[in-house]
């Protein structure tokens, strides 16, 4: 007779011969009647999946720390948990490869080089691979740009306000000091316009940096 899959022994709790299996998460019994053709079954107690067959060819099982069972390519080195309340990035090393003839084992995530950041727009957490703060980041969930840390927008807002006010003061000085000269040489008006325009652009940029959303780091990895 053909041997059962090696993930766990399928037994019968009584003489009725109904096949059952223990849940790999909560150890509750799962009734396999009519489900033996499936690769995985869902526990009715904890709602987590348990494999009962070898994964399809070229695939492997990986279980996240949140107990979500993932099926990915056997050559995958990094996968992400799809659950909205987890979103954990799991890095798979060579020792975590699961041959098809071996039972599936829980995969422990390896700490990635980066920082988990809480998006200032949507509140979701994402992995920011930069090892420094005071940078701009694009959230993979809402696709919006935010600043990682508040130092960068505060510094740039002050810088643009300073430059803008200097340009406006220069424009005012030119306007007051070259009125008579401008009546003879109309090109002088261009210098006024350039000074005021540069000042206005800097003040607009200062408003942009003052209103930009800030995303704060949750954890940092060495």
Active site residues: 72
Q: Which two tokens stand for residue 131?
A: 């090892």
DSSP-derived secondary structure for the chain:
-PPPPTTS--B-SSTT---EEE-TTT--EEE-TTTTTSSEEE-TTT--EEE-SPPPTTEEEEE-TT--EEEEETT-SEEE---TTT--EEE--GGG---TTS---BPPPPPPSSEEEE-TTT--EEEE--SSSSEEEE-TTT--EEEESSHHHHHHHHHHHHHHHHHHHHHHHHHHHTHHHHHH-TTHHHHHHHHHHHHHHHHHHHHHHHH--EEEEEEE--
């Amino acid at each position: 007779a053909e041997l059962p899959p090696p993930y766990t022994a399928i037994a019968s709790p009584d003489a009725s011969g109904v096949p059952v299996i223990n849940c790999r998460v909560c150890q509750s019994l799962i009734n396999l009647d009519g489900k033996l053709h499936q690769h995985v079954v869902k526990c009715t107690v904890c709602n987590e999946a348990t494999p009962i067959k070898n994964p399809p060819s070229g695939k492997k099982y990986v279980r996240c720390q949140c107990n979500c069972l993932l099926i990915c390519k056997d050559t995958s080195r990094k996968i992400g948990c799809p659950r909205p309340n987890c979103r954990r990035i799991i890095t798979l090393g060579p020792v975590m490869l699961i041959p098809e003839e071996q039972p599936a084992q829980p995969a422990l995530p390896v700490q990635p080089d980066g920082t988990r950041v809480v998006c200032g727009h949507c509140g979701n957490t994402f992995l920011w691979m930069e090892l420094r703060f005071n940078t701009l980041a694009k959230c993979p969930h809402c696709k919006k740009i935010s600043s990682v840390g508040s130092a960068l927008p505060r510094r740039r807002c002050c810088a643009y306000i300073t430059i803008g006010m200097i340009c406006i003061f220069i424009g005012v000085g030119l306007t007051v000091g070259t009125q008579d000269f401008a009546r003879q040489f109309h090109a002088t008006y261009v210098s006024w316009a350039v000074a005021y325009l540069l000042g206005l652009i800097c003040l607009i940029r200062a408003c942009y940096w003052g209103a930009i959303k800030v995303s704060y780091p949750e954890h940092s990895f060495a």
